[in-house]
Amino acid sequence: QQQVKQSPQSLIVQKGGISIINCAYENTAFDYFPWYQQFPGKGPALLIAIRPDVSEKKEGRFTISFNKSAKQFSLHIMDSQPGDSATYFCAASKMGETSGSRLTFGEGTQLTVNP
């Protein structure tokens, strides 16, 4: 059973457009929600993360929106660039001392930004 569900599976956006990827979670004990970016042949790398005490976090062109009551969070990439073409994973972890080592990932979204 997938505890974090991610959509869409793939996304094609024109350069300069907005890319939006959505995630929904089931476990209300989750309290840390990172997004990871993965380029082909590489390991995932942390892009941006949010805790449920805020509804939005912005870093440059990347924004996480968080809706605690709906148990949903999303990644918005403004002014999308061809260099943003990658696979994006949302993730979540539970409260507790060991949570930093136990991430539950969504299925991933392959983003293609056309020039």
Residue ranges binding other proteins (CB under 8 A): 2, 4, 6, 9, 31-32, 34, 36, 41-46, 49, 51, 89, 93, 95-108
- In the complex, the smallest distance separating the C-beta of residue 57 from other proteins, rounded to whole angstroms, is 13
Rounded-to-integer distance, Cα 81 and Cα 93, Å: 29
- In the complex, the smallest distance separating the C-beta of residue 45 from other proteins, rounded to whole angstroms, is 7
Rounded-to-integer distance, Cα 54 and Cα 69, Å: 12
Comparing CB distances to other proteins, the nearer of 5 and 76 is 5
Half-sphere exposure of 40 (CA within 13 A, CB side): 5
Contacts of 44 (CB under 8 A, 6+ apart): 36, 37, 38, 89
- In the complex, the smallest distance separating the C-beta of residue 77 from other proteins, rounded to whole angstroms, is 19
Comparing CB distances to other proteins, the nearer of 26 and 79 is 26
